[in-house]
Amino acid sequence: MDLLDYLRLFRRRWALIVACVLVAGLAAWFTTPAEPANDDVTYSATHTILRDSSAVAPQALATVALYVKTGPVPERAAERLDWDREPALLASDITLEPNEQVGTLDITATGTSPEAAAERANVFAEETLSRLGEQATETSQESVQRVNEQLTRLQAEIDDLNDRILEQSVDGEAPGVLSAERDSKLRQYGAALDQQQQVLNQPPPSAGYVTLQAALPELAEVEGGGFSAPDSREGRTLLAAIIGLLFGLAAVLVLERLDTRLHDVDEIGEAFGLPVIAEVPSAGRASKGELLARTDNMSGFAESYRTLRAALLLSPVTVMGLKGSAPEDREGEPEVVLVTSAAPGDGKTTTVANLAVTMAETGRSVLVLGCDFRRPEIHGYFDVPTSPGVADVLTGRASLASVIRPTDVPGVSIAPSGDHLRSLGDVAAAGRKLIEGARGLADVVIIDTPPLLATNDASELIPAVDAVVVVSRVGKTTSDGARRTRFLLDRLGAPVAGIIAIGVPERDGSYASYYRTTTIDEAPTSGRRRRRQTRNAETEVERVEGPVASPSDRGQPADDLTEDDAPALWSEYDQPRPDPLR
């Protein structure tokens, strides 16, 4: 998709984008206080400690960091800072940054003022060093005590051996075993004395770390650098609206990936792989069942079906084929036109009825065959009974000529669907024969069939027709349905005239918008609007020039007056024709 495709997509789903922007903006507006809160600024200060190179085996930085956050250090710090809550909460605000290569540990604390932040950092550092010093002292004392206990034990063992030697000596000679054992103990005693001397000669115990830089209030920094949300209601509302806009755009892209419906004419043509030969604007649900091509024959809706009529009569029909066989073009006007769709509700029956009206406008006789036996609706457009009809012809209960009925539309007759078929196999057995018999009964035969993907009825009739028109409704037909329909048409070798798109949004400058500015000689000729415009015109002329002679005064009955006679009437009086819409 290029940039223009994205813009069209966002334009089509503008309601979702606007809804996201409004929801986000209103939520921010009503949840933000009218007056911004005057919260205290947060400061941070850092106390840095350094490993003491003169200390004997200082503890690892990871161990020191553990002491800062847990154990006695947070408890002592909380006591010194008069913290009345859990010490762990106070320690959670402390940030540690060890550097093993250099041997430093940065202890950073936060506070509502530079002094408070510096005090917290210094207290935690001091209590940590104090704790480390206490541990070092305890370790040194334990070493001295352990050596002293060893010397005392060896001295007692040596004294015991001396007493035993005196008791067991003969003629002044001590027993050899006891003498050897005493000599061993004396050597151990000497080694213990050396160890005691080493312990006593060690430097005083230390924490192993010293303060490199204490936290100073003057060096405290303000927390919260970088982007921060505005405090004012207007600022937060604007920010929320921007976030809502971005969310709406993302939601549109996600929905577009999930939505397989075809939303414009280009997508329909691309999905079917067939030309779109007519675009019909939406006429609304209230117009369903009406012949708008007759009752509102100057509308863009009616003109769209005239475009379809021209495409059928003037453009070649493409005979489809599976891959490997190129499509062929068939010249000549089609005598039998089959109208179908991919799925129900696409508007095929409306297309059949209005196409029949526009065909009859050219002076051709038109026969409509209702071959949708599951949901027959075509009879309602021409106000005729549904039975007897084509179903009776297929089952042999009636002849085709006997079920054809005239309609109120000049040149159009209809064979309605009739009763429901008891056996749907009748369509396959007699449907093509029915079409061949219908060819000689009218100049153009238009067949209303069920959707291609819903039933097999249309597939059975397609080989016997001259042209197939596929109806697709914008925003309803799916890409998968279009692909499957095209595959079925290829498999049947269908003579496809093209696609008619139903429900196409009206564009500025379109035919429909052009006829919204019609004058009296261009206005639609149907119903109360035409009569109201004529009365307004006559009233205007009477006001300006006096009464207008009636048709009967001119020797012409009023009932025989047609719209084609209107220009002659106006030209006879040589007066400009008023605009009733003015």
pLDDT digits (tens, 9 = 90+) for 23-44: 988 888 888 777 655 455 789 9
The SS3 of residue 229 is coil
| Average pLDDT of span 477-504 | 93
pLDDT above 90: residue 498 = yes
Given pLDDT bands bounded at 50, 70 and 90, which one contains residue 510? low
Question: Residue 271, exposed/middle/buried by CB under 10 A (0-12, 13-18, 19+)?
Answer: buried
| Average pLDDT of span 335-364 | 94
- One of 3.30.720, 3.30.1890, 3.40.1000, 3.90.930 is the CATH number of 43-222, namely 3.30.1890
Q: What average pLDDT does the structure give for the chain?
A: 81
> How is residue 510 written in tokens?
């379109």
Cβ atoms within 10 Å of 533's Cβ, excluding its own: 20
pLDDT above 60: residue 512 = no
pLDDT at 288: 73
Long-range contacts from 392-397, C-beta under 8 angstroms, 24+ separation? 392/418, 392/419, 393/418, 393/430, 393/434, 394/421, 394/426, 394/427, 394/429, 394/430, 394/431, 394/434, 395/421, 395/422, 395/423, 395/426, 396/430
| Average pLDDT of span 529-547 | 41
- 78 with 253: CB under 8 angstroms? no
pLDDT at 174: 64
Domain ranges of the chain: 3-37+231-258, 43-222, 265-512, 520-573
CATH of region 265-512: 3.40.50.300
> How is residue 542 written in tokens?
């009477």
pLDDT at 469: 96
Assess whether the region 43-222 and the region 265-512 belong to the same CATH fold: no
Pick the more confident residue, 256 or 304.
Answer: 304
pLDDT above 70: residue 73 = yes
Given pLDDT bands bounded at 50, 70 and 90, which one contains residue 236? confident
pLDDT at 290: 83
pLDDT above 60: residue 518 = no
Name residues whose C-beta falls within 8 Å of residue 395's C-beta, 6 or more positions apart in sequence: 421, 422, 423, 426
As beta bridge partners, residue 98 has 105
| Average pLDDT of span 55-76 | 88
Q: How much of the chain, in percent, has pLDDT values that exceed 90?
A: 39
Q: How much of the chain, in percent, has pLDDT values that exceed 70?
A: 79
Taken in order 536, 542, 545, 551, the sign of the CA dihedral is positive
